[in-house]
Amino acid sequence: MPTERFLRLPKEKIEAIRIAAAKEFIRVPLEESSINRIVHDANISRGSFYTYFKSKNLVIDYILEEIIAKRKNEFKLDKRKSLENTIKSLVRTRIKLDDEKLKENLVLVNLFRNVASLDEKTLMLLKELEKVIIERMESIILAYPKEIKIEKKDIKFYSKMLNNIISNYKTFTLFFSEKSNQFITDIEEVKKKYQTEDFERNVEIISKSILKILTY
């Protein structure tokens, strides 16, 4: 966790540090990340950094806690919508991201790619984030009992499986460059993919596939 001194900083300063840290955690694995780069981009001294965070691991934990808090309120289930429209809305919410969420997702991709080097607290936060996302899928399954005939004991398994469909698409298609054969680190490159016919077709395929699995 950050120190009280950090939490008392002006919002603009907190945001500058968060953006600088996210930029660095997208650029390289956490263990290779540079505090010097973070403080340079945030326009703070290295000494000040250590009055805010004892280590860079605590910075990534802070970022993850912020992401978790936002994800809990990201998708509002509207039972007045049809199941099909709810699934389409969910998929688009998870895949078509604004700049801030794109950066957060690229940080997450880099963490998952280097999961073996993460400490216990960071791993726990990643699991908590996954739990929040899976519970969202569970809530959809439970909200449409007439259309979805999945046994209660199987709901969690289905929720994990459907979450993996979306997550794998993001990680290995949306956030991966076939041209360079590397994971993308620039959100502008992802945004270019949003403008393609392939992207819209993929969103439709994913939505229809999830709907078929739920209503087979």
Buried b (16+ CB within 10 A) or exposed e, 83-111: beebbbbbbeebbebeeebbbbbbbbbbb
- What's the CATH number where 42 sits? 1.10.10.60
Tokens of 141: 């399954």
Tokens 């650029």 found at: 27
Please check whether residue 188 lies inside any domain of the structure: yes
**Rounded (5°) CA angle 202-98-38:** 120
Q: With respect to residue 145, please indicate whether it lies within any of the assigned structural domains.
A: yes
84 in a structural domain: yes
The dihedral built from the CA positions of residue 33, 35, 40 and 42, taken in this order, carries a sign that is positive
Look-up of token digits 């395929």: 205
d(CA 91, CA 105): 15
pLDDT in tens, 106-118: 999 999 999 999 9
Q: Assign 100 a pLDDT band (cuts: 50, 70, 90).
A: very high
Q: Is the pLDDT of residue 74 over 90?
A: no
Residues 52 and 149 both lie in one domain? no
Do 108 and 53 sit in the same domain of this protein?
no
- Copy the structure tokens of residue 75: 């998708």
* Domain boundary pick from 36, 63, 90: 63
Q: Give the residue numbers spanning the domain of 83.
A: 76-214
Count of domains for the chain: 2
Strand partners, 177: 182
Sign of the torsion angle spanned by Cα atoms 130, 73, 192, 208: positive
What is the residue-averaged pLDDT of the chain?
A: 96
DSSP 161-196: HHHHHHHHHIIIIITEETTTTEE---HHHHHHHHTS
DSSP lists the bridge partners of residue 183 as: 176
The model's pTM: 0.92
Kindly tell me if the per-residue pLDDT of 202 is higher than 90. yes
**The pLDDT of residue 73:** 83
